[in-house]
Amino acid sequence: MLHAIDIAGMVCPNNVFLAPMAGYTNEPFRKMCEFLGAGLTFTEMVSAKGLHYGNEETKHLLYCGAKEKVARPKAAQIFGADPDIMREACESEALAPFDLIDINMGCPMPKVTRNGEGSALMENLPLAEKVISSCVKSGKRISVKFRTGVDAHRKITAEFAKMCEGSGACMISVHGRTRDMIYAGPCDFAEIAAAKAAVKIPVVANGGVWTVQDFREILEKTGADAVMVARAALYNPRVLCEITGRETPPLLPLFLEELRATREIYGERFATVFMRKMAAFYIKGKPCANAYKRRLFEAQNTVQVAALAEEIFQNEE
């Protein structure tokens, strides 16, 4: 089940991908997940309009560090509904380091959908087609991430998958839930399987993968080519080791390196706030988690966060 995958000439070392997650998949987190086994990682969702208007915060989300000697494939995710602005984003310097550009057509959040973006494009196939084909004209590899539909009565997975392929997308990722389900409820394996049967390009299954068993089940029941791991990686990034069969390293050095890199790239204040939040994810369900959380959110700087992490994680293995 675990294998390398070729996406329009971009070879990923395995078919376990880290999903794009707004507010979380920054450069240090992506690097850690690559180290733990992810075959492909995605940036946070980035606004094409933000890039168009030169928003510095938007550009910051696309930071991907120095070029590596042995570079792994990298993917960025963008969203928008204006075909010209989306193509401009794909051609921008900010997205030049990325091997694949993923178009978000699945975000269910009202602040995105009310502008006709994200999963709202699933209700406007002609516009969705224009957006994809316009991005393809940039010369970049283009993939699309979408849901099974708007609600249980309007599932259009196979139809939408065909449209994506016909518009030039080289890969699709299907979140096996409808928009109204947000992130709750069972993953619809049948709908992902319908998408796989409808197209010849690689299909990535997304939704409800928390364990090795979940990874195997979703591939068996959908026939998908790859799997995206999302929230499971926030709570337990080492699940990527378990799925890919790698040796599982201790959590403390992973956390301290993530903290160091986050501070170096984004600054002291951001690193303090962000890494308090990440530590809270990593200790969920562990003994004394609530007491540690209270202490974590009282930490005023990265030195204090690091000291608490050593106390929390040193005997965790």
Tens digits of residue pLDDT in 160-201: 999 999 999 999 999 999 998 888 888 999 999 999 999 999
Q: What is the mean pLDDT of residues 32-42?
A: 96
- Going by the DSSP 8-state scheme, the letter that residue 250 receives in this structure is P
Which pLDDT belongs to residue 66? Answer: 63
Q: What is the mean pLDDT of residues 97-106?
A: 96
Which pLDDT belongs to residue 317? Answer: 53
Which pLDDT belongs to residue 305? Answer: 95
Give the other-Cβ count within 10 Å of 125's Cβ. Answer: 14
Nearest-angstrom CA–CA distance, 110 and 119:
10
Looking at per-residue pLDDT, the higher value among 274 and 312 belongs to 274
Looking at per-residue pLDDT, the higher value among 262 and 154 belongs to 262
Q: What is the mean pLDDT of residues 48-75?
A: 82
Which pLDDT belongs to residue 96? Answer: 93
**Lowest mean per-residue pLDDT among 1-10, 62-71, 115-124, 242-251:** 62-71
**pTM score of the predicted model:** 0.93
pLDDT of residue 70 exceeding 60: no
164: annotated active-site residue: no
Task: Give which of 100, 116, 112, 186 is closest to 148, Cα–Cα.
Answer: 186
Nearest-angstrom CA–CA distance, 307 and 268:
15
**Side-chain-side CA neighbours of residue 153 (13 Å):** 0
Give the other-Cβ count within 10 Å of 128's Cβ. Answer: 23
Which pLDDT belongs to residue 273? Answer: 96
Which pLDDT belongs to residue 314? Answer: 77
Task: Give which of 24, 15, 22 is closest to 274, Cα–Cα.
Answer: 24
Residue 275 in tokens: 């890494």
Residue 57 pLDDT level (bands cut at 50, 70, 90): confident
- Write the CB contacts of 178 (distance below 8 Å, at least 6 apart in sequence): 147, 148, 149, 150, 151, 152, 154, 155
pLDDT of residue 65 exceeding 60: yes
Which pLDDT belongs to residue 68? Answer: 59
Q: Which domains does the chain have, with CATH numbers?
A: 5-244 (3.20.20.70), 251-313 (1.10.1200)
- Write the CB contacts of 150 (distance below 8 Å, at least 6 apart in sequence): 119, 122, 123, 178, 179, 180
pLDDT of residue 316 exceeding 80: no
Which pLDDT belongs to residue 72? Answer: 82
**Average pLDDT value over all residues in the chain:** 93
Pairing label, strands 5-7, 10-12: antiparallel
- Going by the DSSP 8-state scheme, the letter that residue 180 receives in this structure is G
Q: What is the mean pLDDT of residues 49-68?
A: 83
Helix (H) or strand (E) holding 7: strand 5-7
Catalytic-labelled residue, pool 12, 33, 107, 170: 107
pLDDT of residue 267 exceeding 80: yes
Residue listed under structure tokens 């709202």: 120
Which pLDDT belongs to residue 69? Answer: 53
Task: Give which of 248, 232, 259 is closest to 26, Cα–Cα.
Answer: 259
Residue 285 pLDDT level (bands cut at 50, 70, 90): confident
Which pLDDT belongs to residue 289? Answer: 83
CA distances from 251 to 51, 61, 146, 241 (A): 36, 25, 33, 12
Looking at per-residue pLDDT, the higher value among 54 and 19 belongs to 19
